Chains A and B, each alone.
Chain A
Amino acid sequence: MWKVELKYILFFLLPAFSLISLLYALTVWTFLMSFTNWSFGVRFSNLKLVGFANYAELASNPRFWVNLRNNIAWLILFVVPTTVLGLILAYLLESSPLRLERILRPIFLYPAALSFAVSGVLWSWIYDPWEGVFNDILFKMGFKEVIPWLDDPKIAIFPIITAAIWQYCGFATIIFLAALRSGVLKDAIEAAKVDGAGSARILIDVILPNLRHALLVVVSLLTIFSLKVFDLVWIMTRGGPGYATEVLAVYMYILAFQQDLLAPSAAVATIIVALTSAVLLPYTYYAIRRWSKRG
């Protein structure tokens, strides 16, 4: 609406976008650093380019592949249940009386307001093999074995993912709920009802197809989260036992701050960004197009 003049650019745009540019600049720095031999004690004058050596090193390290496998496990074990659960809850909320919904919505959403530190500590306790609620309940139900939740490399990932699902489900629910409430969808449902379609039909043929956009949003965001998750894993298991539950972000931190291997750490960071971009770029492009189409 307004005409662009230099002084307006300076006043409105410059502060925010200078910071955003800095954000990008630092990302490029990380990217460039991953091709050097940077580590503790290597001054800038001694910095050497080593090409893809850091990446080759990572590729030949089984630990890296374990991390990748874990991130993919997060993709499957976290994204899918959270999405499905969010969808189910949103649908149920939508078809329940208003008062119930008003009470329940904040109940589902409040975990998103908590720090990962809090949920990490909380769920670590719940899953503690000897003193935790979970095993206690199982014990009272008759299980004689103490299930070593956070100790067994094969199952240690489940407590962490449970905590993540608990925290993010409400978020998915809210998004689906908003989509279910959209005017377009409501009109379509009305039309179908007039045509005499039953609930199940409506669900399958009308509602689900129209949730495509919301589905995309939720899955994209959860996928990005799966790729960059750090806090929960670090607090609950430190990536252990050994590196069984380690994810890329945790390995990146360990490389930089415990092993002083800064260049390999930058390489892992770059890989995280690359993987997230694979999801991000299409999604953002899609969202912008949709946005601009609506005016």
Chain B
Amino acid sequence: MRGGFKLIVPILCFLILSAVPLLPLTYAQIENELIIYHYYTAGGEREAIDVYFKYFKQKYPFVKIRENEVPGGAAENIRAVVMSRLEAGNPPDIFLDLAGANMKRYVDAGYLAPVDDIWKKTGMEEHVPPLLRKMCYFYGHYYGVQANNVHRENILFYNKHIFDELGLKPPRNPQELLEVAKVIKERMPRVMPLVVSTKDYWHVAFLMDPIIYYYGGKDYYLRFYTGRVNLSKPEDVKPLREALNFVKELLEKGYLVPSNAWTWDMSAAQIARGRAAMGIYGDWALGYFLSIGLKCDEDFGGAPFPGGKDEVYLIGVDAFMMPKGAPHPHAAKAWLMLLTDPKIEYEFALKKGSIAGRDDAPRDYPDSIRRENVKFLLSHPDLVIPHGTFMLAPPAFLEDYCKAIINFFFNKNVDAMVKQVAYLMKKHKVAEFSTWFWKE
């Protein structure tokens, strides 16, 4: 039938074309593979994870690494991708996500496999500070292994040239921040004293958390982000109100400049270029500054905020996790074991801008920021606290909470904000979710 010929050819083409991409799927069943999902794509991160890949390839040359990078900070995009795979019963071998509250979601859904043996055999249990360990410990078992960027999430980065010219020192608490900002605004009116990006909405939490910590203290901070404060009681609401009023003051005096045109790295770029003076980031921003060719302590600097006598170490932990039913469990476990080696950890941290979490890892870092971090980590293990918004509160809360903060930037209505926070805590059931943190 010649008439049908015209249709058969394209149909055949389609069948052939569609079969070709399907072929690799069958290869995936081969044992010697590691299917890994991660989001270390930006400057600094990429080099860091290549360190792990290098060592893995050295030790296990016959295992093919099938790498899936999902760009996007704060692990947003990767969640959707991994979630759909897990729900469909098609888990990868290893995936990366934040530990703490994020990891708990996977554990609760029953998707993660416990790895107690890895933690115990490699000495992780002894050498990792207790609150850090807790981020991977749920219902009596360890899940996943920290990628061992024990990020410090409360570093105030500043443009050193501006500070030197004005004879300033990095502020260590809100009052000093106000003074420093005042000087900058008066003497260099075209420079934005403090910037924060709202396009990456989670960045505003980096501003709020240290401030809430300062006004509330450690106990309040932990209770706040696990939903255990009663915002109708005056003593519970006071630190929040003080924090909000402080931010309000920053905004009204023009010291804080939020911008929706920036993602976090664009706001950091403003500091690098001298258009802005300060910004609060995690130490991963260090990797960014280094990757654009700036020198620490010359072009830029970083100091903990709050610092001085109120100094605290707010940690953010990424962890590689192994799902139940991973197609290549041996390769997955081998990867996790690799992560626990203190020397490799150290090399990874060097590139990434973070520090190694194990206390028996090598300690010299090329920049003052990290040297200080290590010192503090080792000397004040009790002040090493999970970064509330990301590690303690459920992720759904994070989104609404940050959006509420951004709204607050504009309407500056403290009462409305307090009400909104109470509402969100209830809506996202923060208290029930966080019981894991208070158990032993």
Contact string, B71-83, partner A, CB cutoff 8 A, digits 1/0?
0000011011001
Given the interface contacts A240-B199, A241-B410, does A150 sit within 8 Å of B396 by beta carbon?
A: no
Contact indicator A260/B395 (Cβ below 8 Å): yes
The count of residues in chain A whose C-beta lies closer than 8 Å to any C-beta of chain B is 27
Stretch in B131-139, B211-219, B338-346, B399-407 with 4+ CB within 8 Å of A: B399-407
Given the interface contacts A41-B110, A130-B275, does A237 sit within 8 Å of B399 by beta carbon?
A: no
Q: In residues 253-281 of chain B, which contact A (Cβ within 8 Å)?
A: 258-261, 275
Can you list 26 pairs linking A and B with CB atoms under 8 Å apart?
A: A40-B83, A40-B109, A129-B261, A148-B259, A150-B260, A151-B258, A156-B260, A237-B260, A240-B198, A240-B199, A240-B260, A241-B258, A242-B201, A242-B404, A242-B406, A244-B410, A256-B80, A257-B76, A257-B80, A258-B79, A259-B395, A259-B396, A260-B79, A260-B105, A260-B395, A260-B396
Does A254 reach chain B (CB closer than 8 Å)?
yes
Interface centre among A149, A254, A261 (most CB of B within 10 A): A254
List 6 tightest A-B contacts by C-beta distance, closest first: A41-B109, A242-B406, A259-B396, A241-B260, A257-B80, A240-B260
Note all chain B residues with C-beta closer than 8 A to A259.
395-396, 399-400
Contact indicator A238/B201 (Cβ below 8 Å): yes
Interface of A, secondary structure class, is: loop
| A130→B257 CA distance, assembly (Å) | 13
User: Which B positions have Cβ atoms within 8 angstroms of A?
Assistant: 76-77, 79-80, 83, 87, 105, 108-111, 198-199, 201, 258-261, 275, 395-396, 399-400, 403-407, 409-410
Contact string, A85-117, partner B, CB cutoff 8 A, digits 1/0?
000000000000000000000000000000000
Contact indicator B406/A40 (Cβ below 8 Å): no
A224 to chain B, nearest CB (A): 26
Does A243 reach chain B (CB closer than 8 Å)?
yes
Interface centre among A149, A254, A256, A258 (most CB of B within 10 A): A258
Contact indicator A241/B409 (Cβ below 8 Å): yes
User: Which A positions have Cβ atoms within 8 angstroms of B?
Assistant: 40-41, 63, 124, 128-130, 148-151, 153, 156, 237-238, 240-244, 254, 256-261
Note all chain B residues with C-beta closer than 8 A to A256.
80
| A241→B403 CA distance, assembly (Å) | 8
Note all chain A residues with C-beta closer than 8 A to B259.
129, 148, 150-151
| A124→B399 CA distance, assembly (Å) | 23
Known: A41-B105, A41-B109. 16 other contacts (CB 8 A): A129-B259, A148-B261, A150-B261, A151-B258, A238-B199, A238-B260, A240-B201, A240-B260, A241-B198, A242-B198, A242-B403, A242-B407, A244-B407, A257-B79, A258-B79, A259-B400
Note all chain A residues with C-beta closer than 8 A to B261.
124, 128-129, 148-151
Contact indicator A240/B406 (Cβ below 8 Å): yes
B381 to chain A, nearest CB (A): 33
| A150→B261 CA distance, assembly (Å) | 6
Q: Which partner residue on chain B sits nearest A39 by CB separation?
A: B396
Note all chain B residues with C-beta closer than 8 A to A130.
275
Given the interface contacts A150-B261, A257-B80, does A40 sit within 8 Å of B87 by beta carbon?
A: yes
Note all chain B residues with C-beta closer than 8 A to A63.
400, 403
Note all chain B residues with C-beta closer than 8 A to A41.
105, 108-111
Q: Which partner residue on chain B sits nearest A66 by CB separation?
A: B407
B439 to chain A, nearest CB (A): 20
Note all chain B residues with C-beta closer than 8 A to A241.
198, 258, 260, 406, 409-410
Contact indicator B76/A258 (Cβ below 8 Å): yes
Q: Which partner residue on chain A sits nearest B263 by CB separation?
A: A238
Note all chain A residues with C-beta closer than 8 A to B258.
151, 241
Q: Which partner residue on chain A sits nearest B275 by CB separation?
A: A130
| A242→B259 CA distance, assembly (Å) | 11
Contact indicator A258/B399 (Cβ below 8 Å): yes
| A257→B409 CA distance, assembly (Å) | 25
Note all chain B residues with C-beta closer than 8 A to A129.
259, 261
| A144→B186 CA distance, assembly (Å) | 18
A142 to chain B, nearest CB (A): 18
Note all chain B residues with C-beta closer than 8 A to A40.
83, 87, 105, 109
Q: Which partner residue on chain B sits nearest A129 by CB separation?
A: B261
Q: Which partner residue on chain B sits nearest A240 by CB separation?
A: B260
Interface centre among A63, A129, A151, A241 (most CB of B within 10 A): A241
B346 to chain A, nearest CB (A): 34
| A192→B399 CA distance, assembly (Å) | 62
Given the interface contacts A40-B83, A151-B259, A258-B79, does A242 sit within 8 Å of B410 by beta carbon?
A: yes
Note all chain A residues with C-beta closer than 8 A to B77.
257
Partner of A260, one of B83, B110, B410: B83
| A148→B259 CA distance, assembly (Å) | 8
Note all chain A residues with C-beta closer than 8 A to B404.
242
Note all chain A residues with C-beta closer than 8 A to B199.
237-238, 240
| A148→B260 CA distance, assembly (Å) | 9
| A178→B23 CA distance, assembly (Å) | 49
| A208→B423 CA distance, assembly (Å) | 53
Note all chain A residues with C-beta closer than 8 A to B198.
151, 240-242
| A153→B83 CA distance, assembly (Å) | 32
A24 to chain B, nearest CB (A): 23
| A41→B79 CA distance, assembly (Å) | 12
Q: Which partner residue on chain A sits nearest B107 by CB separation?
A: A41
| A124→B151 CA distance, assembly (Å) | 32
| A256→B110 CA distance, assembly (Å) | 20
Q: Which partner residue on chain B sits nearest A132 by CB separation?
A: B261
| A258→B201 CA distance, assembly (Å) | 12
A222 to chain B, nearest CB (A): 26
| A124→B261 CA distance, assembly (Å) | 8
Note all chain A residues with C-beta closer than 8 A to B406.
240-243
Contact indicator A243/B79 (Cβ below 8 Å): no
B74 to chain A, nearest CB (A): 10
| A257→B80 CA distance, assembly (Å) | 5
A18 to chain B, nearest CB (A): 15
| A240→B200 CA distance, assembly (Å) | 9
A189 to chain B, nearest CB (A): 45
Q: Which partner residue on chain B sits nearest A153 by CB separation?
A: B410
Interface centre among A129, A242, A260 (most CB of B within 10 A): A242
A149 to chain B, nearest CB (A): 8
Note all chain A residues with C-beta closer than 8 A to B83.
40, 260
| A210→B198 CA distance, assembly (Å) | 49
Note all chain A residues with C-beta closer than 8 A to B109.
40-41
Interface centre among A63, A129, A130, A240 (most CB of B within 10 A): A240
